[in-house]
Amino acid sequence: MSRVSEIKRITNETEIKLSFNIDGEGTSTLETGVPFLTHMLDLFAKHGQFDLTVQANGDTEVDDHHTTEDIGICLGQVLKEALGDKMGIKRYGNAFVPMDEALAQVVVDLSNRPHLEFRADLPSVKVGTFDTELVHEFLWKLALEARMNLHVIVHYGKNTHHIIEAIFKALARALDEATTIDPRIKGVPSTKGML
């Protein structure tokens, strides 16, 4: 069973082509126009063992908001589509990731009920040219479009780059766990009989 999906999304603000393979090898080809986001998506693919390709052209002369948000939308949509009927998946994932002085935890439930709980204080408003408030925007759109519960808890940290990097790595590892096929699971892991 191939768990691969791709999307092309064109608006007046962005043009995005994105492909995603859940059962990949951790490879990425990324042209986002947002350097810090490119860095985060690269390590997301690597640590989740996902294959990810993103070609994005956006109005970054305004700021990085539309491009970051729309990549989150597209990634959520392809994740949902690639999961298909969700038969046999573990459904839940939980990961703690340290990054030097920072410790982030991400917990996911591929429940078909979108929710983001974001408990993270980001000390700086920018990392390089990237507005750090866009981390929340990206994760909310990802959770909404993938229709998953996504809980992000930063236990501690001082360096904003380290905190965000720990979040993306923990997200990758939690999603890798939640999307794993468990041969013991018959159907979907829900007493409702559907996700």
According to DSSP, the β-strands at 149-156 and 115-119 are parallel
- The model's confidence at residue 11, banded by pLDDT at 50, 70 and 90, is very high
d(CA 38, CA 17): 14
Query: Does pLDDT of 27 surpass 90?
Result: yes
Q: Check: CB of residue 44 under 8 Å from CB of residue 171.
A: yes
pLDDT at 146: 98
Query: Does pLDDT of 183 surpass 80?
Result: yes
pLDDT at 192: 87
Coil, strand or helix at 86: coil
pLDDT at 140: 98
pLDDT at 189: 87
d(CA 68, CA 21): 20
DSSP 92: E
d(CA 50, CA 176): 8
At 108, list the tokens.
Answer: 């996911």
Query: Does pLDDT of 175 surpass 90?
Result: yes
Query: Does pLDDT of 1 surpass 80?
Result: no
pLDDT at 94: 98
- The model's confidence at residue 137, banded by pLDDT at 50, 70 and 90, is very high
Q: Check: CB of residue 14 under 8 Å from CB of residue 57.
A: yes
pLDDT at 195: 84
**pLDDT tens for each residue of 55-103:** 999 999 999 999 999 999 999 999 999 999 999 999 999 999 999 999 9
